Structure 1
Amino acid sequence: MDIINVLQLVFSSALVYSAPLILTALGGTFSERSGIVNVGLEGIMVMGAFGSVVFNLTFASQLGNWTPWVGVVVGGLIGILFSLIHAVATINLRADHIISGTVINLMAPALAIFLTRVLYDGRGQTDIISENFGKANIPLLENIPVLGPIFFKGTSAPAFVGIAIAVLCWFILFKTRFGLRLRAVGEHPQAADTLGINVYMTKYAGVLLSGLLGGMGGAIQAQAISLNFSASTIAGQGFIAMAAMIFGKWNPLGAMGAAIFFGFAQSLSVIGNYIPIIQDVPSVWLQAAPYLITIIVLVGVIGKSEGPAANGKTYIKSK
């Protein structure tokens, strides 16, 4: 295998595994920028994955190639519903953010597996989907000499959509009135309130956006990588996305870059045998690499990263 083919394999595989992380990390960024810690991203991804696969299996014959794309939208809508639970618990009921998110993470897999058994004759996993996100070529760009075959041929379309969404999220967060208000609420909600900003509604918007993007991330994970739904479909992806968000310093572009890095780490267990430098490394180490890197990043970075000042703090309007 020549160097061009190796680079094409590395880059395309990294994008396939990073696409769900990009969207979910962006969702976490919106939530925490509004002051709500959302550790329930894992559970939201689970429900998004479950909903998208059930939709895919049900409507593939009618929608054809568009099925996985519509499934991503369905996963996002289901993510909104689950994030609404977290929003009500933390904003209205003033529950601890970590406990509320943990409850979602515990509830979602159990509920999804229960519904899977109900819908699929007692089995703990769904059938394999026939319509999925395969490899795609980016028109025109794939014809660029040298760079085209590496970056734009046989690659992941959802990843490029995720990159575009990351740029859009950066613009919204730092260049629009809504983004300014969201960041103000996450830094100092009392001051934002005195300026006439509806703090509660802004927090709701941040959490629901995290549910939308997290559910979409779960849907892409299920329809591009696992190709079905089971208890192991997500397997810690939500927590890796949170690490990408922290590593990216709560900035959409930084979170995107960190997600691509973590996606590359995950892809090593699949493509490691084709990379000369690491082809002799035992596969078990390559499979553990993304989780070890996540721990290292959190230990090395989390103490140095400063999130929004009011992140995780319950806001009471009367005070």
Structure 2
Amino acid sequence: MGTWVAKNRTTLVVAAVVLVAAYVFYYAKNDIAPSMYGAAWGYAIPLVLAALVGVIGERSGVVNIGIEGQMLLAAFAGFFSAAATGSMAVGILAGIGTGLLAGGFLAWTTVRWRMDQIIAGVVLNIIATGLTSFYLVSGKTLPGVIPNIEVPLLSQIPLIGDTFFSGRSAIALVAIIAAVVVHVGLFHTRWGLRTRSVGEYPSAADTAGINVERLRLVNVTLAGSLAGLAGVYLSMDASSSFERGMTAGRGFLALAIMIMGAWRPLRAVAMALFFGFVNAVASQLQQTGGFDVPPQLTGTLPYVATLVVLALAAGRVRGPAAAGQPYVKKDQ
């Protein structure tokens, strides 16, 4: 325990400072702080799920540029399936299933066919944009809403309970659970050790008896379910309609969050919350006025913050060594 604290001393100090600052703002500005924190987490939910997709993919050695397309396809399939069948459950399952299919497409083209991973992701994004625009039908409505969940005890904690565990969508809770599960899985299980090995040194993993291709196929495909859930959240929870291009670059923002989180799930959650708060600040500036700034400009704040933080993080983080490189056995 002492060794772990020593290794993570800087992270713990930063986390403590941020938490104290958050509570000070929460009590000092109790009229606007709860709503801002709630809006920040609402904005961060799909980013967390999408960033986890990127983490699993790159830790396995596959760069997933197609997260945007996976989310868009899932949002489309989930919304229109729910509207057509009159069942929210069917819509959610359709969205998750579509994310899996899109993940399987990316996995097969990059791992089995050894297509360039960037090109495969771009192709997926183009297909998603084209399909969802061509088959878009207006006038559809959802048959209901995704239920909110009140977590006992945790929902009573000031700030944390109000933000994460009180009256939140079931998908929001799944995002938190998924981040914890992926973190524990990557760093404390045999699956995680094998995943990280095929992402860092696949030839050594192959020599140790790990089926590199199969593990990459399974990981990238299953990670698609999280992208599907993120898409479902966008079209069936954060809003109640589907619009062209409604993902609005969130898939690419999630990749930036993954990098700034150093390919670690819990750090990615922290970065997603940071950008969620930046977005909440931009929204607050638009509502309160006092600044003669066009809303289009304040809406770019999360993306400007992304560029600034990426510039600061450049050269300080290192991704998995084999990410983006197809693996070919020597005897093939």
TM-score, with length taken from structure 1? 0.86
Contact 2:53–2:224 (8 Å) recurs in 1: yes
Give % identity: 37
Pairing 1:304–2:324 present: no
**Structure 2 Cα separation of the partners of residues 56 and 296 of structure 1:** 40
- Range moving further from structure 2, 227-236 or 102-111: 227-236
The amino acid of 1:45's aligned partner reads M
Contact 2:147–2:169 (8 Å) recurs in 1: yes
**Structure 2 Cα separation of the partners of residues 51 and 21 of structure 1:** 19
Pairing 1:72–2:83 present: no
1:306/1:244 Cα in 2 relative to 1: closer, same or farther (>3 Å)?
same
How far apart are 1:130 and its partner, in Å?
4.6
Contact 1:16–1:156 (8 Å) recurs in 2: no
How far apart are 1:81 and its partner, in Å?
0.7
How far apart are 1:152 and its partner, in Å?
4.1
Gaps of 5+ in 1: none
Question: What residue number does 2:194 align with?
Answer: 181
**Structure 1 Cα separation of the partners of residues 316 and 142 of structure 2:** 43
Which has the bigger relative contact order, CA under 8 A and spacing at least 6?
A: 1
Question: What residue number does 2:33 align with?
Answer: 7
**Structure 2 Cα separation of the partners of residues 224 and 178 of structure 1:** 32
Question: What residue number does 2:291 align with?
Answer: 280
**Structure 2 Cα separation of the partners of residues 9 and 160 of structure 1:** 18
How far apart are 1:241 and its partner, in Å?
0.8
5 Å-filtered alignment, 1:13-92, equals 13-60=39-86, 63=87, 67=88, 71-92=91-112
1:94/1:149 Cα in 2 relative to 1: closer, same or farther (>3 Å)?
closer
Question: What residue number does 1:96 align with?
Answer: 116
- Range moving further from structure 2, 160-169 or 128-137: 128-137
Contact 2:48–2:268 (8 Å) recurs in 1: yes
Give the paired residue count.
Answer: 304
The amino acid of 1:292's aligned partner reads V
Contact 1:12–1:154 (8 Å) recurs in 2: no
**Residue deviations 1:168-190, cap 9 Å, x none?**
11111111111110100000000
1:314/1:220 Cα in 2 relative to 1: closer, same or farther (>3 Å)?
same
Contact 1:243–1:297 (8 Å) recurs in 2: no
Question: What residue number does 2:18 align with?
Answer: none
The amino acid of 2:201's aligned partner reads H
Pairing 1:231–2:231 present: no
How far apart are 1:314 and its partner, in Å?
1.5
Question: What residue number does 1:256 align with?
Answer: 269
The amino acid of 1:201's aligned partner reads R
How far apart are 1:148 and its partner, in Å?
4.5
1:315/1:115 Cα in 2 relative to 1: closer, same or farther (>3 Å)?
same
Contact 1:8–1:150 (8 Å) recurs in 2: yes
The amino acid of 2:131's aligned partner reads L
- Range moving further from structure 2, 203-212 or 33-42: 203-212
- Range moving further from structure 2, 217-226 or 294-303: 294-303
**Residue deviations 1:86-134, cap 9 Å, x none?**
1121111111111111111111111122222xxx3xxxx4634352347
Gaps of 5+ in 2: 1-27
1:180/1:148 Cα in 2 relative to 1: closer, same or farther (>3 Å)?
closer
**Structure 2 Cα separation of the partners of residues 135 and 164 of structure 1:** 16
**Structure 2 Cα separation of the partners of residues 136 and 8 of structure 1:** 18
**Residue deviations 1:238-278, cap 9 Å, x none?**
00111111111111111111112222223344343467xx8
1:263/1:70 Cα in 2 relative to 1: closer, same or farther (>3 Å)?
farther
1:159/1:260 Cα in 2 relative to 1: closer, same or farther (>3 Å)?
farther
Secondary structure of residue in 2 paired with 1:201:
helix
- Range moving further from structure 2, 298-307 or 190-199: 298-307
- Range moving further from structure 2, 218-227 or 14-23: 218-227
How far apart are 1:22 and its partner, in Å?
0.6
**Structure 1 Cα separation of the partners of residues 139 and 268 of structure 2:** 31
The amino acid of 1:247's aligned partner reads M
